[in-house]
Amino acid sequence: MEQGPLIYEGKAKKVYGTSSPEHVIVEYKDDATAFNGQKRGVITGKGVVNNRMSNLFFRLLEAHGIETHFVEELSERRTLVRKVEIVPVEVVVRNLAAGSMAKRLGIPEGTPLGRPIVEFYYKNDELGDPLVSEEHVEALGWASRGEIDTIRRTALRVNQVLSEFLAAQNVRLVDFKLEFGRAPGGRLLLADEISPDTCRFWDLATGEKLDKDRFRRDLGGVEQAYEEMMRRVEGGLRR
Ligand code: C5P
């Protein structure tokens, strides 16, 4: 499929049109931002890891009956995906309190939760992606009641599949963010990416952080953490 013009450039990815109206090409960059763009940098090789890891996870999820936008990996950094209309809500699933939840509630990072929780954030850079309730999402028309139910169910299922897969690689899936999109006809697909940029991965034995928190918090060893996660995910899929 022919790569067409650039149609969107975000913080970590570019999106190009194709000769098909139903497909776009996503290109992953090495640019990294945190705290809503206030901190900027480059993580060398990140785009390659995030492209490959997202695609491996999407394939794993498809094998478990979860529909995603993934079509075909085209190169180290580029993937053909189904074109969707993104639901303007970031869906976060948490297994342990960390990050913004730990801060907001004044509880230590790593505090266990009685069950996985699903949160919704309104996708709006100017507002810093505020936390909203399901009722906001429904009342403001960002998603219908039925779509919200599907999103919740799918997000928890993704959590189950990925947590189990990662635990076998000695990784604790602490939390992660998903985005959903509507394909033509309205079918909801899992979209965007699933990578060390969008997940918290802690080594199961040592608690070492293997994700973007190393960049956000200036912990060093950022590239090495991304590479280590890639190695573990590929190792798990070779079994
Ligand atoms: O910052 P917070 O604790 O709310 O993040 C929860 C999870 O969602 C983390 O894994 C983080 O990497 C991810 N996230 C994201 N994009 C955002 C906000 C959070 O990928 N804009």
pLDDT of residue 1: 82
133 and 168 in a single domain? The answer is yes
Would you say 38 and 54 are in contact if contact means Cβ atoms under 8 Å apart? Answer: no
pLDDT of residue 68: 98
pLDDT of residue 197: 98
Return the ∠ at Cα 70 (arms to 182 and 202), rounded to 5°.
Answer: 105
123 and 208 in a single domain? The answer is yes
Of ligand 1's listed atoms, the one at least distance from the Cα of 176 is: 10
Task: Judge whether 190 lies within some domain.
Answer: yes
ipTM higher than threshold 0.95: yes
Q: Which residues of the chain have pLDDT under 70?
A: none
d(CA 215, CA 221): 8
Return the ∠ at Cα 91 (arms to 83 and 37), rounded to 5°.
Answer: 85
Of ligand 1's listed atoms, the one at least distance from the Cα of 103 is: 3
Q: Which two structure tokens, joined as six digits, stand for 76? A: 């180290």
pLDDT of residue 95: 98
Domain that holds residue 25: 3-82
DSSP 95: E
Domain count across the chain: 2
Distance in Å, CA 131 to ligand 1 centroid: 11
- Determine if ligand 1 sits within 6 Å of the CB of residue 46: no
Label residue 86 exposed, middle or buried (CB < 10 Å: 0-12, 13-18, 19+).
middle
Of ligand 1's listed atoms, the one at least distance from the Cα of 99 is: 3
pLDDT of residue 157: 98
pLDDT tens by residue, 148-200: 999 999 999 999 999 999 999 999 999 999 999 999 999 999 999 999 999 99
User: What are the DSSP calls for 190-220, one per residue?
Assistant: EES--STTTEEEEETTT--B-STHHHHTT-S
Whether pTM > 0.95 for this model: the answer is yes
Q: Which two structure tokens, joined as six digits, stand for 189? A: 């697909």
Choosing from 11, 198, 201, 226 the residue with most ligand 1 atoms within 8 A of its CB, the one to mutate for a pocket test is 198
65 and 181 in a single domain? The answer is no
Nearest CA to ligand 1 atom 15: 198
Task: Judge whether 156 lies within some domain.
Answer: yes
108 and 212 in a single domain? The answer is yes
CATH number, residue 152: 3.30.470.20
User: Hey, how many other C-beta atoms are within 10 angstroms of the C-beta on 15?
Assistant: 15
pLDDT of residue 238: 86
